[in-house]
A and B are shown apart, each in its own frame.
Chain A
Amino acid sequence: MSWMFLRDLLSGVNKYSTGIGRIWLAVMFIFRLLVYMVAAEHVWKDEQREFECNTRQPGCENVCFDYFFPISQVRLWALQLIMVSTPSLLVVLHVAYREGREKTHRKKLYVSLGTMDGGLWYTYLISLIVKTGFEIGFLVLFYKLYHGFRVPYLMKCDLKPCPNTVDCFISKPTEKTIFILFLVITSCLCIVLNFIELSFLVLKCFIKCCLQKYSKKLKSSVC
């Protein structure tokens, strides 16, 4: 089980997505998953070993590291990627449910399994809303946990057993800040894409309903 599993799952979603959904998938795969795996993971590799406090007091470094990083940024990033990818699976499950229904009734119940009409349209909409919710939620969590998106080079720590206020130095703060900003920008881009897709779907449905009402009115006036 690794990121390949998530990649294979998401590739299946591609068939049932709109055009904007496919752009979202491409951004997810290339600018988030791939960048995480080939670059970001390695930046945080030695974060605790290279975290150094200006004291020889045993335990002080451990306590300070745990206080400043309750959960490592890179692990939060990984959780975000997983949580944001999984609502798309709702769509795959719904299509599988449709397939199951057609097999049980042994007749064609839908125009095609992947056509976005009826229940599948609602499932897709819900998955978009949940995805956007997770994205925004994680960004807010990141901001609150680390007091912004910048990683400082120095932090002052006076927790027990540190004898006084000691200076603690974080490794590679600039590189970490660059990658966190990259994460925030791609996250915002995905949020924007989700909003555009949401508006597009709602607008399309609204126009379709209006046209149907208009054609019904026309038919009833002719009759």
Chain B
Amino acid sequence: MDWGTLHTFIGGVNKHSTSIGKVWITVIFIFRVMILVVAAQEVWGDEQDDFVCNTLQPGCKNVCYDHFFPVSHIRLWALQLIFVSTPALLVAMHVAYYRHETARKFRRGEKRNEFKDVEDIKKQKVRIEGSLWWTYTSSIFFRIIFEASFMYVFYFLYNGYHLPWVLKCGIEPCPNLVDCFISRPTEKTVFTIFMISASVICMLLNVAELCYLLLKVCFRRSKRAQMQRNHPNHALKESKQNEMNELISDSGQNAITGFPS
């Protein structure tokens, strides 16, 4: 069980995402997950071993380390990536539910003119419309909330994104105010800034995707309203023709199945 499994889960959502969504998934896995696994974990590997306090008092180092790093950067990033990726599963579940319902209707004989068989339903790309649009938009909204929250928690816990090379600690059992030295503070600062920047880019991509989806819906609605205004008879004829077609196909199916619906 590792990041590859998460990639498999989220990769499935890729098919039903917008282009910006696909870019977002790529940024997440290449610039964040991969960097976390191949680089950041090495940098933070010896974080407690090489955290040294200027005292021989047993327990002082443990207590000071725990006070300055209540949660390690690495773990916080791992949790952030997991939480930020999971709203995409809402979309995956909705698509799975939609396909399940469509397959059920197909087996009852309702959508035979749209699909050839059940496999066709599974291969079809589901468009982001109707209730799926709401699910997709909510997932982007939650992503933004999680990203912002984790960035704030980071800032709050570590008093900024810069790691100092020395920290002063006077918590019991330390006998007085001792100097504690963090291992590799500059390298850690560099990676922290990199991860924060990637986080900001992902947030901007999510905001852009949200705006794109909202604009698309507004544009579609105004186009429909314009069409109705310009060609009211045409629009009415079209909707009546659609109703007729549905009635014909329903009665045709009833003739085949042999009882009224």
CA distance A22 to B57 in the complex (A): 52
Q: How far is the CA of A153 from the CA of B59 in the complex (A)?
A: 9
Question: Counting CB contacts under 8 A, is B27 at the interface?
Answer: no
Contact yes or no, B6 A34, CB < 8 A = yes
Give the distance in Å from the alpha carbon of A113 to the alpha carbon of B89 in the complex: 28
List the B residue with the shortest CB-CB distance to A54.
B58
Residues of A within 8 A of B75 (CB): 39, 42-43, 175, 179
Q: How large is the interface on B (under 10, 10 to 19, 20 to 34, 35 or more residues)?
A: 20 to 34
Binary contact track A19-58/B, C-beta < 8 Å → 1, others 0: 1001100100111011111110011001000101111000
Interfacial chain A residues near B3, Cβ < 8 Å: 38
Number of residues of chain A lying within 8 A (CB) of chain B? 39
A121 at interface by CB-CB < 8 Å:
no
Q: Which residues of A contact B173 (CB under 8 A)?
A: 54, 167, 169
Partner of A38, one of B2, B70, B86, B93: B2
Contacting residues of chain B (67-88) with chain A, CB-CB under 8 angstroms: 69-72, 74-75, 78-79, 82, 86
Q: Which residue of A lies closest to B96 (CB)?
A: A22
A17 and B86 alpha carbons, distance in the complex (Å):
20
Residue of B nearest to A10 (CB): B1
Q: Kindly list chain A residues whose C-beta atoms are within 8 Å of the C-beta of B14.
A: none
Q: Residue B62 at the A interface, CB < 8 A?
A: yes
Bound complex: CA of A6 vs CA of B66, how far in Å? 34
Q: In the complex the two chains form, is B72's CB within 8 Å of A46's CB?
A: no
Q: Known: A30-B86, A35-B79. Is A43-B58 also a contact (CB below 8 A)? A: no
Q: Which residues of B contact A171 (CB under 8 A)?
A: 48, 62, 65-66
20 contacts between A and B (CB under 8 A): A26-B89, A26-B93, A29-B1, A29-B9, A30-B6, A30-B9, A30-B82, A31-B86, A35-B78, A35-B79, A38-B78, A42-B75, A50-B62, A54-B57, A153-B66, A154-B63, A169-B59, A172-B72, A174-B66, A175-B69
